[in-house]
Structure 1
Amino acid sequence: EQMLGEMGYDAVFIGTGAGSPRFMDLPGEGLNGVLSANELLTRCNLMRAGQFPAYDTPLGLGKRVAVIGAGNTAMDAMRVSLRLGADEVHCIYRRTETECPARKEELHHAEEEGITFNWLTNPVEILGDEAGNVRALRCVRMELGEPDASGRRSPVVIPGSEFDFEADTVVYAIGTSPNPILGQTSKLKLDKRGYIQCDEALATSLAGVYAGGDIVTGAATVILAMGAGRKAAASIKDYLGIRDSGRVYAPEPPGLEGSLFGIDLAERNFTHVRLI
């Protein structure tokens, strides 16, 4: 609203993504050694934590790392942890390998590098030591029940299956969410998941405001986000009454159809001249 009003913009595009990491609200999530996969990968790839103290960002993974989740980001986090010196890296996932959402090649590469997979395992608490550091992950065994809304079989807790899993670091890789501040500070209409609600033209509930990418669809690919940006740009031009130069000319016909020696028949009444 401020950009359209006080700042004088005629249209606004929102492409902020959905980068807020999800957690499970388990007891112990405030302990030292609990972080998201986003934070882990950012520290390593952008801030060069693996080269500490040559660079200022420490990491301190410890010897045993537990990564909760089994998507592509989880695979990245596990392989990076192993390369940064962890002795053991474990994947904690509540379903089986069949339901694993990661790409097959990502899973294959993680197995090749020595990642240990704990299928049908779900965390219920993170345990800490007297200094406030992670020491273990309390888990329960699961079994698969009936399919849920996603079509995958729902995991069900096996009674009396609780056990403690030693860990120095716990990494969450269970997806991301949109930044809740958007809904708290604007009148944009959101869907039930908290993402910006748009029509087919990517127009939001506020006139002149368009959105696209993960902030609309949820976590997806860069290609889809780029496509949304192009679509929204065309919609903004229509909204502002700007003629899209890409639509002025008819598409080139295939072959020589409609031409005379390769010259469009519509040009027969014109003479080509060379300016000197």
Structure 2
Amino acid sequence: AYKMRAEDSMRETEMIRALGVDIRNGVTIGRDVSLEQLEREYDAIFLGVGLGETDDLNIEADNIRRCADALSFIEKTKTNGFDHVQIGTQVAVIGGGNTAIDVATAARRLGAEVVYMIYRRSREEMSAFDYEYELAKVDGVTFVWQAAPVRVVPDARGRAQGLVCVKTELGPPDSSSRRSFRPIPGSEFTLEVDMVVRALGQKKLAFLQDIPNLKLDGGKVVVNAETMQTANPKYFAGGDCVNGGGEVVDAVAHGKRAARGIHAALAAQQRGVAHA
């Protein structure tokens, strides 16, 4: 909410409507409309679907209140406004990316007295941008490096009152090109917190596998970098489903590039028909 206000997004949405764009809300591909139907009705299809739900923690946290995922937390700051978002006094944010920084910074600005950001690797392996990291430091976020969550401790009413973590030891790089880590036996410690937010990244969308001839690389859509056209020439794509998670400005740039690519592709089709 401190980066982009909801009213700014709504103003841009209305500007798009004024251009004649028909926005259909509440429509799910595969339930309300099939891919086959879209392909029959439209000459080009742009995939701007982003990513899926926040990755699971796979720790003992089920049915414990005041445990949330990053997307739900951020959504509340956008739709409800800062004045109507409940926040803990001491908050633990689990993750080391830009989304985790967003949550941690928002929590501090919402009034949390202490915000811990727990990351299993070191600062050097952190995926968050440098300026995001500096912003979080200015806002007073406390970074807990080389620590992995083990379980959330509930109070008598089933609310989070602590987060047990274990210290980690770094090893050689793994498949992510960052240094691997392993828990250090006997190094567990507990952070006294009354709210836990997981911000571990987002899942890739499985339905993309159902699109014929669409090429994926690690769940991300492969495109021509100049036109944003996919291996299926009818489909174009941009944003997080292509880069795995970036900034709004990246998605906007992809959209503009794809618009030019779609225009060029359809114009070429029309020329081909005219010369046939």
TM-score with structure 1 length normalisation?
A: 0.74
State the partner residue of 1:258.
none
Q: Which moved more, 1:210-219 or 1:220-229?
A: 220-229
State the partner residue of 2:154.
128
1:47 is aligned to 2:73: no
SS in 2 for 1:66: strand
Distance 1:188 1:27 in 2: 40
Give 1:64 shift: 1.3
1:18 is aligned to 2:51: yes
Give 1:19 shift: 4.9
How many residues align? The count is 234
SS in 2 for 1:3: helix
Give 1:29 shift: 4.2
SS in 2 for 1:21: coil
**Contact kept in structure 2, 1:61 and 1:168, CA below 8 Å:** no
State the partner residue of 2:238.
212
Give 1:65 shift: 0.4
**Contact kept in structure 1, 2:215 and 2:230, CA below 8 Å:** no
Read off the aligned partner of 1:51 and give its amino acid letter. Answer: D
Give 1:212 shift: 1.9
SS in 1 for 2:216: coil
**Contact kept in structure 1, 2:59 and 2:150, CA below 8 Å:** yes
Q: Which moved more, 1:78-87 or 1:126-135?
A: 126-135
Read off the aligned partner of 1:195 and give its amino acid letter. Answer: K
State the partner residue of 2:221.
196
Give the number of the structure whose residues are more often helix, by fraction.
2
Give 1:4 shift: 1.8
**Contact kept in structure 2, 1:128 and 1:136, CA below 8 Å:** yes
SS in 2 for 1:164: strand
1:241 is aligned to 2:273: no
State the partner residue of 1:160.
186
Structure 1 unmatched runs, 5+ = 53-58, 245-276
1:78 is aligned to 2:120: no
**Contact kept in structure 2, 1:139 and 1:164, CA below 8 Å:** yes
Read off the aligned partner of 1:32 and give its amino acid letter. Answer: R
Give 1:97 shift: 2.3
State the partner residue of 1:248.
none
Give 1:153 shift: 2.0
SS in 1 for 2:111: coil
Distance 2:252 2:101 in 1: 24
Q: Which moved more, 1:169-178 or 1:100-109?
A: 100-109
Q: Which moved more, 1:83-92 or 1:27-36?
A: 27-36
Higher alpha-carbon Rg: 1
SS in 2 for 1:145: strand
Distance 2:108 2:250 in 1: 31
State the partner residue of 1:247.
none
Distance 1:32 1:188 in 2: 43
State the partner residue of 1:33.
66
Identity %: 35
State the partner residue of 1:9.
42
Structure 2 unmatched runs, 5+ = 1-35, 271-276
SS in 2 for 1:82: helix
**Contact kept in structure 1, 2:45 and 2:235, CA below 8 Å:** yes
Read off the aligned partner of 2:44 and give its amino acid letter. Answer: A
TM-score with structure 2 length normalisation?
A: 0.74
Distance 2:133 2:228 in 1: 35
